[in-house]
């Protein structure tokens, strides 16, 4: 499969399409404008395309020094399991490392633990878990 990778965000329209493909927006209920604003506020982002169609993306929100949070790593369902997610992740991690950011973190969606463990990520210890406020 001939995939082109870019260290650039997807267009807002492509990001919205990929985001909707995950089903996450059933819960968030974000408008196209809100999704575009979130994308624009990313510290950096990457994308993948096949035959001119954007088929994957990922982005980072970061303070540029201490913390980087990898979010919205998404591959079009029709293109999953071809190594695209891994390639996008490697680009995001390389950019974080290149900028010297100390902590690179993410929240793992249900069922995706093996994907991230293959990339070297480890779950935090039980006594120091990631936490969140439920909406």
Ligand X SMILES: CC(C)(COP(=O)(O)OP(=O)(O)OC[C@H]1O[C@@H](n2cnc3c(N)ncnc32)[C@H](O)[C@@H]1OP(=O)(O)O)[C@@H](O)C(=O)NCCC(=O)NCCS
Which residues belong to the active site? 116
Q: Is position 82 an interface residue for ligand X (rule: CB under 6 A)? A: yes
By the rule CB under 6 A, 104 interacts with ligand X = no
Window 12 to 51, contacts with ligand X (CB under 6 A): 22
Question: Binding residue for ligand X (CB under 6 A) from 16, 55, 57, 73?
Answer: 73
Does 114 sit near ligand X (CB under 6 A)?
yes
In the complex, minimum distance from the CB of residue 62 to ligand X, in angstroms, rounded to a whole number = 17
Following DSSP, what letter does each residue of the chain receive, concatenated?
A: ---EEESSPPPHHHHHHHHHHHTTHHHH---HHHHHHHHHT-SEEEEEEETTEEEEEEEEEE-SSSEEEEEEEEE-GGGTTSSHHHHHHHHHHHHHHHTT-SEEEE-PPTT-HHHHHTTT--PPPTTS-------
Binding positions for ligand X, rule: CB under 6 A? 22, 73-75, 80-86, 108-109, 111-112, 114-115, 118
């Amino acid at each position: 499969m001939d995939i082109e990778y870019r260290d650039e965000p997807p267009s807002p329209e492509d990001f919205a399409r990929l985001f909707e493909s995950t089903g996450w927006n059933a819960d968030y209920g974000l408008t196209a404008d809100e999704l575009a604003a979130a994308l624009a506020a990313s510290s950096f982002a990457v994308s993948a395309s096949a035959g001119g169609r954007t088929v994957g993306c990922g982005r980072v929100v970061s303070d540029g020094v201490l913390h980087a949070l990898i979010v919205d790593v998404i591959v079009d369902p029709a293109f999953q399991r071809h190594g695209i997610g891994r390639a996008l992740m490697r680009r995001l991690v390389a950019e974080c490392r290149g900028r010297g950011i100390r902590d690179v973190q993410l929240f793992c969606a249900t069922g995706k633990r093996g994907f991230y463990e293959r990339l070297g990520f480890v779950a935090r210890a039980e006594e120091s878990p990631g936490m969140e406020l439920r909406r």
